């Protein structure tokens, strides 16, 4: 079956304290988004890559690709007002039948093994999310400020790529937008469809703060 990845890259870099959108920030001399695309290219040269970018950022992206000689084939589509709407725009370019992954543009350290694991399980389970175990103690804070320790074994950190049967994901994204949709799995679960979990990789962090960039440099160093 055809495999497609939609890489959503609509960040503004506010938490980075930078005027440059975070997906374009250099890590060891190369923009984050390029490293993310290369991670999926390493998984499969047959994988179709769709990059969702705000229209206002596309000229800069194309100039970066020319300047750095970046030639990994990919299609660029316009982003939407929210991540939900950006994924909708990406899905419009996906032909059926297919398996489709949705990935954060600022997660450049997803491993080839995790990508393969997600696609392989999605072929039979239809909706798959990579997760990582919680290693620190968690406390739940109530509205009145009281806190209580919760069992960390009952929780998982959610990563991307989240991989689905494309027909299922298209149907899910036909639903009206809701603020409770925090990721693609939550959109699918709103239809009552169960989501399967697979093991992710700890390095698959989302680069959102200056500290994350330091971690990224260390991982590549």
Which of 139, 140, 208, 196 is closest to 168 using CA atoms? 196
pLDDT tens across 164-203, in order? 999 999 999 999 999 999 999 999 999 999 999 999 999 9
CA distance 115 to 113: 6
CA distance 49 to 72: 9
Pairing label, strands 3-8, 48-53: parallel
Domains in the chain with CATH codes: 3-220 (3.90.550.10)
pLDDT tens across 116-139, in order? 999 999 999 999 999 999 999 999
The dihedral of CA 121, 127, 128, 133: what is its sign? Answer: negative
C-alpha separations of 117 from 5, 43, 133, 198 in Å: 14, 11, 17, 7
Q: What is the pLDDT of residue 18?
A: 66
pLDDT tens across 47-65, in order? 999 999 999 999 999 999 9
Report the mean per-residue pLDDT for the chain. Answer: 95
Q: How many helices (H) and strands (E) does the chain have?
A: 7, 12
Q: What is the pLDDT of residue 111?
A: 98
CA distance 71 to 162: 25
Residue indicated by tokens 């290369």: 38
């Amino acid at each position: 079956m055809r495999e497609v990845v939609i890489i959503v890259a609509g960040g503004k870099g506010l938490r980075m304290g930078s005027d440059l959108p975070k997906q374009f920030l250099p890590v060891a001399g190369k923009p984050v988004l390029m490293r993310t695309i290369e991670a999926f290219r390493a998984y499969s040269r047959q994988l179709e890559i769709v990059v969702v970018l705000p229209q206002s950022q596309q000229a800069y992206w194309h100039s970066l690709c020319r300047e750095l000689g970046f030639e990994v084939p990919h299609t660029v589509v316009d982003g939407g007002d929210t991540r939900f709407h950006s994924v909708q725009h990406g899905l419009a370019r996906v032909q059926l039948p297919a398996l489709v992954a949705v990935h954060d543009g600022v997660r450049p350290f997803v491993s080839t093994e995790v990508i393969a694991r997600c696609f392989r399980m999605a072929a039979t389970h239809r909706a798959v999310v990579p997760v990582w175990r919680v290693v620190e103690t968690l406390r739940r804070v109530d509205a009145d400020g009281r806190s209580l320790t919760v069992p960390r074994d009952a929780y998982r950190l959610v990563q991307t790529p989240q991989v689905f049967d494309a027909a299922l994901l298209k149907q899910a994204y036909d639903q009206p937008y809701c603020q409770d949709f925090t990721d693609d799995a939550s959109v699918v679960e709103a239809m009552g469809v169960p989501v399967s979990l697979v093991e992710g990789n700890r390095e698959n962090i989302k680069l959102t703060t200056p500290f994350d960039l330091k971690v990224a440099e260390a991982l590549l160093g």
